[in-house]
Structure 1
Amino acid sequence: MTDYKEKEIHLPQRATHHSAGYDFEAAEEVVIPSIWKQLLTRKINDNPTTEKNIKPVLVPTGIKAYMMEDEFLQLANRSSNPLKRFLLVANGVGIIDSDYYNNSENEGHIMFQFSNFGLKDRVIKKGERIGQGIFLPFLKADQDQTTHDRTGGLGSSD
């Protein structure tokens, strides 16, 4: 994992007094390849192996966040990304749980997952706003039980 301490990363900020979300920036330049270009390049004919190779791209933010036990950070796309750049947050909405940060196997680095449904590859430049994060509380069901403690990062509770 890249250390972003010396990389001039900006802390997320809200754009206006009434903004719910904090704008996150890309910590480095990343290319998001067109899914169509990938499909054509691989000449798929219902080949499941090729389909597995077309994955979202993780865009690092260089940011970590802590939350209280009954809070989470929701990661959402910027409204202009699909409209102007053909970029989707691949998991729809990202959920950063309070135990994502600083557990035994993960330092808590926040990343956005993007897929590009446009015809051309898209370049996200360092410092470009890529998404927003909204801190939210959550409730637990009566007789709530969990199966284990988190020991990892993205997808570690699968």
Structure 2
Amino acid sequence: MKRGFEKVSSYAAQDIKLPQRATQNAAGYDFFAAKDFVLPSIWKKNFIKVLAALRKGQTINEDEMANAQKILKPYLVPTGIKAYMGDDEYLLLADRSSAPLKRGLVLPNGVGIIDADYYNNDSNEGEIFFQLLNFSLFDQTIKQGEKLGQGIFMPYLTADGEERPQTKRTGGFGSSGR
């Protein structure tokens, strides 16, 4: 087996969808939410107050700034899925083209990268999560089975003369360093 998808053990008995391509020539595999999930709007709480104060050059206290930063933190929406692939491949996660327009949901950095060694890691078994921010005015409820984004298997190249890192992945999401 070269590449594909499996359910993580915590979702093994549940009826969740494996990623699938929507058309014959689709490059991306649609990923689906493993459970209902509420994504709060970034415009809630004191975010607008902090933004207005910063624009006016006013000083913001630490608590208000920390609260505003929390609001801008993306949420991890579970898929219940892990992906296996060749050592020289990765899975590129991308927004659905309609998500920002219809619902205001975006991946904060535009893409996500799932490395081959993320599969079956000790921390979370390699479960793939979609990082999402909700820029709409209202909280958005994502229903189980709803499309979150897409994944495309991609090969990658390495630089000439590079020594292969000897460090092995020991954790899950965000574990390859800061």
For the pair shown, the structure with the greater C-alpha radius of gyration is 2
* C-alpha deviation, 1:51, in angstroms: 2.9
Partner residue of 1:33? 40
Partner residue of 1:53? 70
> Could you state the TM-score of these two structures normalised by the residue count of structure 2?
0.82
Name the CA distance, whole Å, in 1 between partners of 2:83 and 2:41: 30
Could you list the per-position Cα deviations for residues 44-69 of structure 1 after superposition, in whole angstroms to 9, with x for gaps in the alignment?
A: 35343123312111110111111110
The one of 135, 154, 157 aligned to 2:173: 154
Name the CA distance, whole Å, in 1 between partners of 2:134 and 2:168: 34
Q: Structure 1: which 5+ residue stretches go unaligned? A: none
Find runs of 4+ consecutive structure 1 residues off by over 4 angstroms.
none
1:8 and 2:15 matched = yes
Say whether the 8 Å CA contact 1:100–1:106 is kept in structure 2: no
Partner residue of 2:84? 66
> Could you state the TM-score of these two structures normalised by the residue count of structure 1?
0.91
Query: Greater share of helix residues, 1 or 2?
Result: 2
* C-alpha deviation, 1:148, in angstroms: 2.3
The residue identity in structure 2 corresponding to 1:15 is A
Name the CA distance, whole Å, in 2 between partners of 1:80 and 1:117: 14
The residue identity in structure 2 corresponding to 1:118 is S
The residue identity in structure 1 corresponding to 2:167 is H
Name the CA distance, whole Å, in 1 between partners of 2:166 and 2:110: 25
Partner residue of 2:148? 130
Counterpart of 2:99 in 1: which secondary structure?
helix
CA RMSD of aligned residues (A): 1.9
Name the CA distance, whole Å, in 1 between partners of 2:161 and 2:82: 31
Counterpart of 1:83 in 2: which secondary structure?
helix
Partner residue of 2:24? 17
Number of residue equivalences: 157
Percent identical: 57
The residue identity in structure 1 corresponding to 2:100 is P
Partner residue of 2:159? 141
Name the CA distance, whole Å, in 2 between partners of 1:12 and 1:85: 21
Partner residue of 1:89? 107
The residue identity in structure 2 corresponding to 1:120 is F
Name the CA distance, whole Å, in 2 between partners of 1:89 and 1:69: 25
